[in-house]
Every structure is written in C-alpha cells, then in structure tokens.
A and B are shown apart, each in its own frame.
Chain A
C-alpha cells in the first residue's frame, strides 16, 4: 500500500454509502436490495438522480468499473460490482467480502468459428493479436499460460475486431454466448468465471464493523 496524493476524503457517521452498479448487474442488484427490505421503487423509476436514500443507506449509482475507485478512496463505504471488474482493477485496494452469487458470466478467449488463424498466427508470426476491453486480464492470462500475444484495447463492440481483421481473436465477457454466436465467433478457452461481489473500503470495514457485518449477513445468498 502506498500513500496517495489525491485527497481520500470521507465523512464518518451518517448512513452507510453503498455504490450500486448501473448496467448488466443493475436489475439483480435492485432485486437483492428488495429482498433485504430496501425500497428500490424510486431507483426503478425514471429518475435521473445518481444518489438515492433508502433502507437507512445512501445508494450511489455509477458504472460498474468505477465502483472500486469510489470504494478504495472511501467516497463509498461499500460497493457491488462484478469479479471481472475487480480482476481488471487488481491495483485498487478494496476488501472483497462476499460473493453475491448473481450476475454469473465467464471471461473467455474466442476466435472465428472453424477458423484456425489464432493458431496459425501464433505458429507463423510468434504471437496472436487479441482485441479486448480487459487488457490487464488478457495480458495476465497470456503471461500465465506462456502464450505471446499482442493485446489491442478497444472500447466498443469487441466482436467487430476479428470480423474485419483488426485481431485474430478476442478476450471478452460472455453470459449466454449469444452475441458471440451471432457474430460467428466461438469460445476457445475459458479464462475466469465471474459473479457479483460486495467490496468494502478498508477503513469503513474496520471503523463501521458492526454495520458492515450486518449488511453482509443480510445480503449473504442462501446456500443452494
């Protein structure tokens, strides 16, 4: 842990601040909050607000990939985000305290169906070209498995890259695999599996221990 220059400001006291991910985990996260008696009807409406008070907490809504940033600084005490986000942002120091079980998906390496260009470029050119929105996960995977690859970061639809020849394959998150199929891509390797996780700021986890533990117990999924 190194000190940061950026002012990590926070206010103790007052309601716990919980960072809520918009996007793919939004619906199931609100369902999970409903189950522990937090009223999410206002959030489900068409409000443009970013911050909601409900269930004795302050719910702060944001992009899933911003959750570790807010929680690390203490701007949010706790947050919910995908394991994929945590794997991509391993340099953010947050405590991963609970597997919420929902939002299951897999990080995979995919190539064009029936096309051997992945293997061929690696054999003949010494490395494959991989497009991804998760450059750090992709680089770590190729390093660990001993493959050489040129990782190309893209921001938008990553399936496009192998179709037009930007890359030989992609590393991306799949839930059902439908998007891959529709774009003529198939899974070659599974890199990691992901579900939604509850993360905590390290100081909040210490100084608001009772409230944090109480929320963890309420959110803990029943063992199936």
Chain B
C-alpha cells in the first residue's frame, strides 16, 4: 500500500544520497579551505525573526503555532538565520566572520508545477567585510566551488540591486509608477516595461531611453561603457561599483566566467549593491544566487556589511549529471 507524501517533497534513495553526500563533502572542503566554518541553525524559527530579516511579508514560509501558541515558521533561506546568529552571538567579536552551511530550506509551491517545497541549500556568508573586497572574496569562493564540483562552464551573472531604485528616484518616478516599473523589471517583461515607462508623465526622452536600454545590457566589461553612455548619477554610481568589483575579479582570475548584467534584480528584499546569479549552459534554470546584504544584520541590532551565496544542491547535482553526459557524448 502506498501512503502519499506532500506534493513538492520526496524521498531520497541510496544512489542519489551517495552522490549528494559526495557533492556536499566537496563543497564543504572548499568552504573550509577558504576559512568558512560550517554552522547549523534550527529549521524552525520564530516567524517574527524571519519577517524582520525579510523586510516584507509574503515569502511564503510555512507557519504554525507551537504548544504554547507561539507563531513559528520554517526557514525559507539560510541567510536570515545566520544574520540573526551573528548579530546575537558575535556582536563583540572582531569581524570579519566566515560561515558556511548545508541545510534544507522551504518555500511555497504553486500546484502542478513540479516545484519543491523543501530544497537543499549550500553556501557561505561573509559578515563584516565591505564592498568591493568582501564581494570579490565571496565570488572567488563561489568560482572555486563550481570548479570543484565539475561545473567549469558555469557563469556568474553580476548586477547591482540598487541601480533601478536609485535611477527611479533620480528620475522622480514615485508611487504606483515606480512599483509597476520595478515589477516589470523583476519579471523581465520588456513589453510591459515599455508600457509602464510610457505611462509616466513628465519623463523626458533621455530618462525613457535609459530605463528601456539598461535591462538589455549584459556581457563583458564593454557593458559598463555602454551603460555609462546613457549618463546620469545612478547609472554612474552603479557602473562604478561594478567596475571596482570587476577589476578585482580580474586580479583574482575569476572575471573570465563573470557576465556583467544590468538587468538583474533578485527577488529577495534584503539585497543591496552587488547581486549574483549562477547559470550552467546545461540547465534551463539558475543554480543559485547571492549578493550583498549590507543592511540585514543591522535589522538584528548589529550593523555590519555582508555578502554571501547559496547553491541549490539538487540542481547542481542535475547540472553535474548533464555535463558528464555531454562530455561522454562528445567523446564518442
């Protein structure tokens, strides 16, 4: 007789478990080599704590009451719990703090989409180290991690989370128009973006062109020059931040796999400055992401700049398999 398990969850059998364990071991070894000690935090947190980190509601963590009537939630990522941990237990210690994690996190699913409620997340957090050095330290570990698990073709998309917020402020776009434009950018709906931009009264032709052309800019260092040609303070600042980061990435030998991308907008509320997404040519979905969250730890009472990344391990595993298959087929 088959007893069902909730949609979006699954059992893992020995063959897969063995490979996932090897994958985790490889990653933890890389994290340790760069000085990131592994921590574990509870799967359950007080809902209030997760909300404080998220800065907005609706992330869809699973919530329920415990036996005392306290509202608890399943964590939806590892970054907020680690920010809580550092603010509480390392407030007086000398930064920077380097931590790594491997653990399950939980997100809501939409029905009949094959989405998972529970996913295995592995990554690092570097707390107390500002941009651009801190960002570059994190990306260097990320690049070494991807190489270590055999994803030599994986690409890091690097963008700036503050670009559009600052640009819209500079252009005087506020209220509903601002929300609509940010929503269209987050969806990467360029048709809807053009409509939303055209609905803004009093926006000059130059502002319009800047808003419509920036999201198409992605590629090598030339992208920053193309952005600068559009002009404006917000664009100048963002390109400067990206340029500094990129120059350091060149020094560390990581820039070769970095794609500068001015269309990036991560959908988590706490990102500031540099943001990153991870792609592998063998897979149609992102492998993970990360970036700077300079305000997050401060929400827990101990302000410090911070950055990190997280990889979806099941997807990394899938990408490994696809890459191995491609190599095998290439040889035959």
**Chain A residues at the B interface, C-beta cutoff of 8 Å:** 1-13, 72-75, 83, 91, 95-99, 197, 201-207, 209-210, 213
Contact = CB atoms under 8 A, between A and B. Distances in A.
23 contacts: A2-B119, A3-B285, A3-B315, A4-B115, A4-B116, A5-B314, A7-B318, A8-B318, A10-B283, A11-B282, A12-B153, A13-B281, A72-B284, A73-B284, A74-B284, A74-B285, A83-B191, A91-B110, A95-B189, A96-B192, A201-B284, A206-B157, A207-B281
Nearest to A77: B284
Given A3-B119, A3-B315, A9 B283 contact: yes
Contacts of A72: 284
Contacts of A209: 218-219, 259
Nearest to B110: A91
Interface in B284-332: 284-286, 312, 314-315, 318, 322, 326
Q: Which of A2, A9, A73 has the most CB of B within 10 A?
A: A2
B115 A96 contact: no
Interface of B: 8, 10, 107-110, 113-116, 119, 153, 155, 157, 187-192, 216, 218-219, 259, 261, 267, 277, 279, 281-286, 312, 314-315, 318, 322, 326
Contacts of B114: 4-6
Contact of B283 (A8, A91, A99, A213): A8
Contacts, number: 102
Given A1-B267, A206-B157, A97 B314 contact: no
Nearest to A74: B284
A207 B258 CA distance: 11
Contacts of B285: 1, 3-4, 8, 73-74, 202-203
B284 A75 contact: yes
B116 A99 contact: no
Contacts of B8: 5
Q: Which of A3, A6, A213 has the most CB of B within 10 A?
A: A3
Given A5-B10, A5-B116, A9-B284, A202 B219 contact: no
A198 B218 CA distance: 19
B191 to A, nearest CB: 5
Q: Which of A6, A7, A72, A74 has the most CB of B within 10 A?
A: A7
Contacts of B115: 2-5
Contacts of B312: 3
Contacts of B216: 213
Contact of A98 (B10, B109, B190): B190
A61 to B, nearest CB: 20
Nearest to B118: A3
Contacts of A4: 113-116, 285
B283 to A, nearest CB: 6
A75 to B, nearest CB: 7
Contacts of B190: 95-98
Nearest to B322: A9
Nearest to B194: A99
Given A8-B318, A11-B326, A75-B284, 13 more contacts: A2-B108, A2-B115, A2-B119, A3-B116, A3-B312, A4-B113, A4-B116, A4-B285, A96-B188, A96-B190, A203-B279, A204-B284, A206-B155
